[in-house]
Amino acid sequence: MSESLKNLSELSDAKLAELVKSGNDSAFDVLTLRYLRNIGFLAKKYSADGYERNDFVQEGLLGLLYACRTFDSNNKASFKSYVDIVAKRRFISIVRKAQRQKAVPSSSLVSLDADNDELEGE
Note whether 30 and 16 are within 8 A (CB).
Answer: yes
9 or 3, which is more confident? 9
Which domains are present in the chain?
13-103 (1.10.1740.10)
Per-residue pLDDT of 63-96, as tens digits, reads 999 999 999 988 888 999 999 999 999 999 999 9
The percentage of the chain sitting over the pLDDT mark of 70, rounded to a whole number, equals 78
The model's pTM is 0.77
Closest CA to 38 of 78, 72, 88, 108: 88
